[in-house]
Amino acid sequence: MTDRPAPPQRPAVRVTVAQLQVGTDREANLVAARDALRTAARVRADVAVLPEYASAYDPRGVGVDLAEPLDGPFVTMLRTEARRGGCAVLAGTTLPGGEPGPDGRPRAVNAVVGVDATGEVVGVYRKVHLYDAFGHRESERLAPGPVDAAPLVLDVAGLRLGVLTCYDLRFPESARRLVDAGADVLVVPAAWVAGDLKAMQWRTLAVARAIESTAAVVAVGQAGRGVVGRSLVVGPDGVVGLELDETPQVRTVDVDAAGIEAVRERVPSLAHRRYAVVPRG
């Protein structure tokens, strides 16, 4: 562990958005992710967010062939770089050990790993809503996470970051469940598949989740073949503060904690709710 001066006090949480291009070459993916985390450390980010499937991705489908355990090279690298840079990490990966599918073939698990600034794994979110839409069948290769699992909410520099993944963005109850668990920011690692109207829907849904939850949204997509990129950071009032194009890039923004609280005081819609969110079996 290297010594690192304490960062200056800021009224915001500094977030590095790593819109990476990911393929089936695990070593190349690891290097790209490591470089992004070192960039985050140089700008004194509090947290870095990598996309869904940051460890390995095949647009034809991701399954057990691209999975690796939590003690494998990718998550080990995340932990090392988090500890070295003093920067928490949220990153998508694929884990082995999912329940077999109806046909008996083994399946993996689509997961987001949360690592704190000391390098400890503090939580894993296993994607609940699998992408069986637009002609894709994610459930053939992946097992869903349990609907009643505790939400992954990571405390970072005075804000609470709640995690959902890609297709989850289409389900507002997933975001509400995170807000009920105390989330101020919704973090959405994604590999949002390209197609007619898909980029527009990605943006619209991210803005909607922010407005209805009076929460900031950090939606980080993959760049490259078959996915839209277009990562964005949205304020709790729906204002888009950062929006990228389709190309790989790493950008850093500050998310204003006081601004989230101010919007929630001005628009107390969460307090006005009349219905609860409960898991459906």
Q: What angle do CA 206, 210, 212 make, to 5 degrees?
A: 115
Residue among 154, 178, 189, 215 at smallest CA distance from 17: 189
DSSP 8-state assignment for residue 128 = S
Structure tokens at 218: 């950090």
Strand-pairing partners, residue 187, are 163, 218
Side-chain half-sphere of 223: how many Cα atoms within 13 Å? 17
Catalytic machinery residues: 52, 127, 166
What is the spatial distance between Cα 178 and Cα 182, in angstroms, rounded to a whole number?
7
170 Cβ neighbours under 8 A, 6+ residues apart: 129, 205
Strands 88-98 and 47-49: what pairing? Answer: parallel
Rounded distance, CA 183 to CA 172, Å? 14
Question: Mapping DSSP to helix (H, G, I), strand (E, B) and coil, where does residue 212 land?
Answer: helix
Sheet with 216-221, edge to edge strand ranges: 153-156, 159-163, 185-190, 216-221, 232-234, 240-243
Residue type, 5: P
Identity (one letter) of the amino acid at 16? T
Paired residues of 124 in beta bridges: 113
